[in-house]
């Protein structure tokens, strides 16, 4: 005889950057177990793939959008909503002392995930590099990162990684007479274009990317070992759970 199934409540929320409406549900005990195992592994690639798969299974979009197509802030926001409805709004993170390596103390801190905020704004994606030449940019999503970096998701982005992500995020290059869309140029051509930029022109691109919305939480605490006052800014999903 088949056992009865428990009905799951579904929720709706509008994502803070794209404004897309998404339907989502809490994750199951089995899905939570998989997430905890990924976090224990402490491998960024494993954690990223697990989170994407979990959010995919727990959400759906009326317009047919995919989780992989979301910008980072929207993806993190959606994951936090799923997590809050699943196991509550409080997460405990363990933070080190700002006096490292002199002090190796660690301090467990409770974070209210409902107080995590969006910092930054989506600015005009049309940047003029000279009086006549400019580019249009788009917010990189999970698919862009995967395509640019392949399987190398194990740590922070290096210089080459940043160049790759920027190249994948350029939608078009234009001057006063012509527009070259993404499909009009090769990877080699776009890389040459970026390499030929001046430092100030490249910094314009970097400033646009660094100002993109992201989820942050300022945390103040005293080190449990030496009592030193510490203040950190948590950013990104993994910072809220490890």
Q: Which of 38-42, 102-106, 194-198 has the lowest mean pLDDT?
A: 38-42
Q: Quick check: 41 pLDDT over 60?
A: yes
pLDDT at 104 over 90: yes
Contact 129, 201 (CB under 8 A): yes
pTM of the model: 0.83
Q: What is the pLDDT of residues 201-237, one digit of tens each?
A: 999 999 999 899 999 999 999 999 999 999 999 987 7
pLDDT of residue 46 exceeding 90, the answer is no
Mean pLDDT computed over every residue of the chain: 87
Q: For 126-149, b where at least 16 C-beta lie within 10 A, e where not — what string? A: ebebeeeebbbbebbbbebbbebb
Percentage of the chain exceeding pLDDT 90: 55
Compute the distance between CA of residue 168 and CA of residue 170 in angstroms, rounded to an integer: 6
The tens digit of pLDDT for each residue in 12-31 reads 999 998 999 999 999 988 88
Given a cut of 60, whether residue 92 has pLDDT beyond it is yes
């Amino acid at each position: 005889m088949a056992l009865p199934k428990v009905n799951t409540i579904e929720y709706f929320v509008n994502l803070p950057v794209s404004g897309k409406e998404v339907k989502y549900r809490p994750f199951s005990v089995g899905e939570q177990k998989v997430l905890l195992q990924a976090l224990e592994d402490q491998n960024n690639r494993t954690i990223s793939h697990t989170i994407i798969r979990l959010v995919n299974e727990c959400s759906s979009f009326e317009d047919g959008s995919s989780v992989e197509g979301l910008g980072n802030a929207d993806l993190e926001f959606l994951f936090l909503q799923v997590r809050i409805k699943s196991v509550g709004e409080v997460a405990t993170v363990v933070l080190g002392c700002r006096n490292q390596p002199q002090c190796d103390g660690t301090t467990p801190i409770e974070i209210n995930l409902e107080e995590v905020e969006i910092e930054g704004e989506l600015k005009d994606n049309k940047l003029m590099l000279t009086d006549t030449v400019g580019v249009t940019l788009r917010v990189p999503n999970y698919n862009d990162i995967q395509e640019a970096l392949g399987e190398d998701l194990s740590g922070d982005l290096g210089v080459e990684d940043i160049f790759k992500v920027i190249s994948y995020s350029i939608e078009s290059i234009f001057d006063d007479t012509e527009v070259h869309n993404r499909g009009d140029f090769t990877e080699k051509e776009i890389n040459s274009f970026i390499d030929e930029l001046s430092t100030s022109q490249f910094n314009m691109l970097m400033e646009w990317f660094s100002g993109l919305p992201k989820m942050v939480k300022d945390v103040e605490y005293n080190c449990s070992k030496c009592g030193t006052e510490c203040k950190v800014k948590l950013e990104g999903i993994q910072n809220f759970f490890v």
